[in-house]
Copies of this chain bind each other. A is one copy, B any other.
Amino acid sequence: MSATIKDIANKVGVAPSTVSRVLSNKTKYYNSLTAEKVKKAAEELGYKKNQAAVELVKRESNVIAAVVSSVKTNFAGEIIDGIQEEALKHGYDLIVVYAGSADSDEQKRALLTVIERPVMGILLLSIALGEDNLKLLKESQIPYCFLSMAFDDNRPFISSDDEEVGYKATKLLIDKGHRKIGLAGIDKFPYTGRLRLQGYKKALDEAGIVFQEDWIQTGDYSYLSGEKAMDQYGKDTDLTGIVAVSDMVAIGLLNKARNLGLNVPGDLSIVSIDGTEMCRIVQPQLTSISQNFFEMGKSGVQRIEDIKKHKKLVNLQQMIPTRIEERQSTTQKENLTYF
């Protein structure tokens, strides 16, 4: 076993509490001579603090836990970056655990591994907890906040305004003269998907476009969903623009469209939602409604901080602004039938 403060105390000839004070930098509660000796002994013994013991007595820790829905979402990394940066600023450590987005047992397992130790806050990245697991989380008394996922109950979250996102994407196409606009890759479940669909419909409505059921292709935000959706639309689709609910869907759309002999953006404009690095490394580069994932991460940490401090205003639901980034996958439609 590794050396303990007792070992150091013995070696130096002081009390364990003194060692503790030195090693925890309780300045002004020890003199620099003993401090020297203690530090030297610690070094020599290869001493490592046992945080389990520390956390047990202090009943608090400086670690923030992030629970991530899946290793594969390509924006999780950006959120984690944001969390990391902000955490560092506050002197917190970050640990990440992965949970399958769907499977309730996996979720529970992931949740327990963080709840069962005294973490100071839990951030849940694009994960929708089931009833049981949400209860677990609440009971733990640990400050928490959902990231990149919005809810219509009173859970605290930080997310993009998904209705607005759907609206903006659709409106962008409409403003470029498109009237027949698809929506691809969307899930049928509550929250994100439904909200974006609402925004999409709202934009269509405002433009007086009557929406057709087969403009919508459901999916799960994946590359495959994009390919499948484009297959469904088919080579002879009368759509001139499509909103993709994620970058991966957009790329699936793009590739399949090309295989079908359709030119993007010549025959078909695509606007993607997310705006990760992916948009810039495909050709044509994808126009996107870009979410500020990094900022979500930062805000998440600040939220944990807030809850800890003010104890209450727990259920704040907050939106992070998105921005439109026009790249090469969208174009003005020339033959504006309405002029």
Question: Which residues of chain A (70-98) have a CB below 8 Å from chain B?
Answer: 71-72, 77-78, 80-81, 84, 88, 93-98
- The answer to whether B94 touches A94 (Cβ under 8 A) is no
Q: Scoring A residues 116 to 158 as 1 if CB is less than 8 Å from chain B, else 0, what string do you get?
A: 1110000000000000000000011100000000000000000
A171 vs B206: C-alpha distance in the bound complex, in angstroms?
A: 60
- The answer to whether B281 touches A258 (Cβ under 8 A) is no
Taking the nearest CB of chain B, how far is it from the CB of A201, in angstroms?
Answer: 30
- The answer to whether A113 touches B95 (Cβ under 8 A) is yes
Count of identical protomers in the assembly: 2
Contact of A93 among B1, B109, B140 (CB under 8 A): B109
B residues within 8 A CB of A282?
281-282
A51 touches B (CB below 8 Å):
yes
Q: Which of A42-50, A191-199, A267-275, A303-311 is near enough to bind chain B? A: A42-50
- The answer to whether A97 touches B98 (Cβ under 8 A) is no
A313 touches B (CB below 8 Å):
no
Please name the residue on chain B nearest to A139 by beta carbon. Answer: B46
A98 vs B95: C-alpha distance in the bound complex, in angstroms?
A: 8
Q: What class of interface size applies to chain A in its complex with B?
A: 35 or more
Contact of A52 among B55, B84, B88 (CB under 8 A): B55
- The answer to whether A48 touches B95 (Cβ under 8 A) is no
B residues within 8 A CB of A88?
109
A251 touches B (CB below 8 Å):
yes
A283 touches B (CB below 8 Å):
yes
B residues within 8 A CB of A48?
112, 115-116, 139-140
Q: A2-B141, A140-B2 are in contact. Are A51 and B117 (CB under 8 A)?
A: yes
Q: A48-B139, A96-B97 are in contact. Are A223 and B113 (CB under 8 A)?
A: no
- The answer to whether B97 touches A94 (Cβ under 8 A) is yes
A18 touches B (CB below 8 Å):
no
Could you list 13 further interchain pairs (A-B, Cβ under 8 angstroms) beyond the known A2-B140, A52-B55, A52-B118? Answer: A1-B59, A49-B116, A50-B56, A50-B118, A63-B113, A72-B77, A93-B109, A94-B113, A95-B95, A95-B96, A95-B97, A252-B281, A255-B283
